[in-house]
């Protein structure tokens, strides 16, 4: 039994070491990824529920790793947050999204995801403002998406940064609402213009009346704060009619389009314009 224990112990250590090495390698690779042009934004359409017209896109990052292929953001964003690389990466995303917006008509918005850690930087509003001016993009065409996790650490500082961003005229969306640390208190902070209902709720609503009731109350609550409500993760025509009829203003999900390359997004923009 003792031998086995030791064996288990050493095997465990070796595995831990290889996990750590893998992580370290990925971190090193990530630090070069921006400069090497391996990062790319894809754009997922955002649809007006009432008439199914295109209102904008959410920018979603992809990393084209030279040997590993496409690494999903769920794998490298946490790594970037741990190492602080998220600061550079986040600035690059803002810059790139503004560049895309500058190529599209004024009625098309672009949403960008922010990590909680980026909100700890007092310089963020200046960075956003500089990118908007550089590409001559109106502030109200840019939306910044944050999750409730921003309120876990440095609440006062983050709230101040959010307020200063809001004062620039950019939109602030509360992302993934209903997952994690949901507290209705956050809605009362007067910084959010939009609430995004998490896709897991949307899909659960298909067979669950309690979930429908929860979504109903979320929509009511958001509307009482004059927030726009977006339903994420809409995959089927049923999801769409259900969420529309529950009062969601905007819809996002595979039903209307997967995250796509800038060129395809542009085709969609122009196709919509000419219709
Ligand atoms: P998120 O902000 O909640 O983005 C929505 C995710 O759901 C995206 O995954 C999107 O591809 C996926 N999705 C969209 N429609 C559907 C649908 O109908 N069904 C299903 N099952 N999924 C759908 P993705 O692109 O893998 O991104 C995952 C997460 O990574 C994002 O979740 C966001 O938290 C983070 N992320 C992505 N890009 C960035 C970025 O530029 N910066 C930061 N900080 N985080 C990012
Ligand atoms: Ca998002
Ligand atoms: Ca989301
Ligand atoms: Ca999410």
Give the mean pLDDT of 228-256: 97
Residue 58, pLDDT > 90, answer yes
Q: What is the pLDDT of residue 2?
A: 44
Ligand index nearest the alpha carbon of residue 145: 2
Ligand index nearest the alpha carbon of residue 34: 1
Residue nearest to atom 45 of ligand 1 (CA): 113
Nearest to 145 by CA among 60, 50, 83: 60
The CA distances from residue 145 to 80, 253, 267, in Å, are: 17, 16, 25
ipTM of the complex: 0.98
Ligand index nearest the alpha carbon of residue 253: 1
Distance 14 CA to ligand 1 centre (A): 33
- List, for residues 130-154, the tens digit of each pLDDT value: 999 999 999 999 999 999 888 777 7
**92 CB within 6 A, ligand 1:** no
- List, for residues 4-50, the tens digit of each pLDDT value: 545 555 566 777 778 888 888 889 999 999 899 999 999 999 999 99
Dmax (CA) for the chain in angstroms is: 75
Task: Please tell me which residue, 111 or 23, carries the higher pLDDT value.
Answer: 111
The CA distances from residue 178 to 159, 239, 268, in Å, are: 20, 17, 31
Q: Cα separation of 153 and 117, whole Å?
A: 9
**73 CB within 6 A, ligand 1:** yes
| pLDDT confidence band for 273 (50 / 70 / 90) | low
Give the mean pLDDT of 180-205: 83
Residue nearest to atom 12 of ligand 1 (CA): 233
pTM greater than the 0.80 cutoff? yes
Nearest to 94 by CA among 129, 44, 47, 146: 129
Distance 176 CA to ligand 4 centre (A): 5
């Amino acid at each position: 039994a003792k031998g086995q224990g030791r064996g288990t112990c050493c095997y465990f250590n070796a595995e831990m070491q290889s996990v750590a090495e893998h992580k370290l390698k990925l971190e090193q690779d990530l630090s070069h990824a921006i400069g090497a042009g391996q990062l790319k934004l894809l754009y997922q359409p955002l649809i007006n529920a009432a008439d199914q017209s295109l209102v904008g896109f959410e920018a979603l990052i992809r990393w084209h790793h030279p040997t590993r292929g496409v690494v999903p953001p769920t794998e490298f964003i946490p790594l970037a947050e741990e190492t602080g690389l998220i600061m550079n990466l986040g600035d690059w995303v803002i810059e790139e999204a503004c560049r895309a917006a500058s190529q599209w008509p004024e009625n098309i918005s672009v949403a960008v995801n922010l990590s909680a850690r980026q909100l700890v930087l007092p310089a963020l509003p200046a960075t956003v403002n500089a990118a908007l001016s550089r590409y001559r993009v109106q502030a109200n065409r840019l939306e910044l998406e944050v999750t409730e996790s921003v309120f876990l650490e440095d609440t006062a500082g983050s709230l101040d940064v959010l307020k200063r961003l809001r004062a620039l005229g950019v939109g602030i969306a509360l992302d993934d609402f209903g997952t994690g640390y949901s507290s209705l208190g956050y809605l009362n902070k007067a910084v959010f213009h939009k609430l995004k209902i998490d896709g897991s709720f949307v899909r659960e609503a298909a067979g669950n009346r309690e979930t429908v009731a929860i979504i109903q109350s979320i929509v009511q609550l958001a509307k009482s704060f004059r927030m726009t409500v977006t339903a994420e993760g809409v995959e089927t025509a049923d999801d769409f009619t259900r969420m529309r009829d529950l009062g969601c203003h905007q819809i996002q999900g595979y039903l209307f389009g997967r995250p796509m390359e800038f060129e395809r997004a542009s085709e969609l923009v122009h196709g919509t314009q000419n219709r």
